[in-house]
Amino acid sequence: MRLIILEDASVVADWAARFVLQRITEFGPGPDRRFVLGLPTGGTPLGMYRRLIDFYKEGRISFKYVTTFNMDEYVGLPRDHPESYHYYMWNEFFKHIDIDPAHAHVLDGNAPNLVAECQRFETLIREAGGVRLFIGGIGPDGHIAFNEPGSSLVSRTRVKTLAYDTLEANKRFFGNDISKVPRQALTVGVGTVMDAHEVMILITGVHKALALAKAVEEGVNHMWTVSAFQQHAQALFVCDEDATLELRVKTVKYFKALSGEHQKMIASVPVKQQRVLH
């Protein structure tokens, strides 16, 4: 696991977008060789999506041969509801790039059989050859996707009942009326994300500082599901200064001392060489 500390959320967004650009470019996707990318929603990745749109418009990247899998979706919200993740992904990212909609996969929270829909999603990921890069964000309680505190760290895609803290955090998107927030969601499991070749988790803001400290400085704990990625061989935590406020000073100094090596990860250094950089 690597921790990359950057100045602020805008720098995190730019670094993350350049990392995606570097990975897709080196992979060289084509009709018979698709790059498989796992994607999050929420406020944290918005800046990254906007930078990727910029790169696409500049002709630096194409998503024509990229297959995407989104992390989660609410149960019961229409696809065209402004707070559905179908709506978010289309309006914030997909409609601005050249991705084939048939290869942009988002869980169907209105499927007649939700368990079957989760199984179908896992099958699609497996048939695509697995996810090469899964990008995620976290909640203040350390959950990734909708893997709430107490979730199994080997869980697969499933129906999840949302914790009260999550409902409280998300009510701002529903007119501050907690009764309007869906009580359930479909989510990839921690194990689903752990299966990816690489994982990049974006963490910004002081309200995420405790979760980052738990994930980096303490042991693996199902009450802080993001901590599972301590055990992933190619996991990156990319954070801003505000998110480090609960970390020990020596932890921050240690990872900042590696910043020169981290910059090579968005340059022209081949991926195989990057994996031995520390």
pLDDT given for residue 26 in this prediction: 94
Q: How far is CA 167 from CA 170, 177, 178, 186, in A?
A: 5, 10, 6, 15
pLDDT at 94 over 70: yes
DSSP string, 120-151: HHHHHHHHTT--SEEEEEB-TT--BTTB-TT-
Active-site residue 148, yes or no?
yes
pLDDT given for residue 198 in this prediction: 97
pLDDT given for residue 229 in this prediction: 98
- pLDDT tens-digit series, residues 21-59: 999 999 999 999 999 999 999 999 999 999 999 999 999
- Among residues 141, 195, 198, 240, which one is catalytic? 141
> At 213, which amino acid appears?
A
Q: N- to C-terminal Cα distance for the chain?
A: 10
Active-site residue 141, yes or no?
yes
Phi then psi for residue 245, to 5 deg, are -65, -20
Phi then psi for residue 270, to 5 deg, are -55, 150
Rounded CA separation 268/274 (Å): 10
Q: Say what the alpha-carbon torsion angle 147, 36, 231, 275 is, to the nearest 10 degrees.
A: -150
pLDDT given for residue 88 in this prediction: 97
- Among residues 86, 105, 143, 262, which one is catalytic? 143
pLDDT given for residue 107 in this prediction: 98
- Among residues 117, 122, 148, 195, which one is catalytic? 148
pLDDT given for residue 275 in this prediction: 64
- pLDDT tens-digit series, residues 148-192: 999 999 999 999 999 898 898 889 999 999 999 999 999 999 999
